[in-house]
Amino acid sequence: MHKLLLNRDIYTEFVQNELPAARRFLWIVTADIKDLYVDVNGHFQPLLEVLNDLVLKGVAVRLIHAKEPGPRFREEFDRFDALINSDSFERILCPRVHTKAIVVDGICAFVGSANLTGAGLGSKHEDKRNFEAGFMFDNAADIAELMQWIDTLYLGEHCINCRRREHCADPIIDHV
């Protein structure tokens, strides 16, 4: 499968269907991150609650983003104990990240323009959403390559030669 998703279809076909279906792991890479609500069985809830529920079910969640989230996101985040105290939830900051990608269990992925925000990936009204485009795919080779690349970010392999170190509030690798 290789499917172009535009605008609201990103939310209805990927965020609503694939993301909460994660059983082993969920990796999310985004530049911007804000409070985001999703419809789960007719009930709108913060995406952070969905992530918390996944972690409680044993799903490893990795979140990589470029800047500190806003105050509403941070307040919501603090309500979910599993996101704070579980080793199954990992979050790192890298100010150079501009990628928007989500990998579900290594079998399905989305890469596109949408940040992890209500206007990008969330349930905001159609007339308030950003204009976004991306691809959902399940090609094993492409997903493996994407996951390898995400691992290089997560492990801080770019930190050694990074020339943006002065802008990094929380370096992945402290001593370079």
Model confidence, pTM: 0.93
How many Cβ atoms are within 10 Å of 27's Cβ, its own excluded? Answer: 24
How many Cβ atoms are within 10 Å of 63's Cβ, its own excluded? Answer: 20
Burial of 86 (0-12, 13-18, 19+ CB in 10 A): middle
Each residue's pLDDT expressed in tens, for the chain with a length of 176 residues = 999 999 999 999 999 999 999 999 999 999 999 888 988 888 889 999 999 999 999 999 999 999 888 888 889 999 999 999 999 999 999 989 999 999 999 999 999 999 998 899 877 888 888 999 999 999 999 999 999 999 999 988 888 888 777 777 777 777 55
Q: Which domains does the chain have, with CATH numbers?
A: 2-167 (3.30.870.10)
